[in-house]
Amino acid sequence: MLIVCPHCHSLNRVPPERVANDPQCGSCHRALLSGEPLELSDADFERFVSKNELPAIADFWAPRVRTLPPDGAAVRASRQTAQGPCLAGESQLHDQPRATARHRIRSIPTLLLYRGGHEAKRQPGVIPAQELVRWAGA
pLDDT in tens, the chain (138 residues): 899 888 888 999 999 888 888 899 999 999 988 777 777 777 778 888 888 888 888 887 777 665 555 444 455 445 544 455 667 776 766 677 777 788 888 887 888 888 888 889 998 887 777 787 778 776
Domain edges within the chain: 34-137
34-137: CATH topology is Glutaredoxin (3.40.30)
CA-closest candidate to residue 26, choices 7, 43, 40: 7
pTM (whole model) above 0.85: no
Confirm if 91 and 58 have CB atoms less than 8 A apart.
Answer: yes
DSSP state, 84?
B
Residue 45, CA distances (Å) to 78, 80, 81, 88 in order: 20, 24, 23, 11
CA-closest candidate to residue 7, choices 68, 46, 48: 48
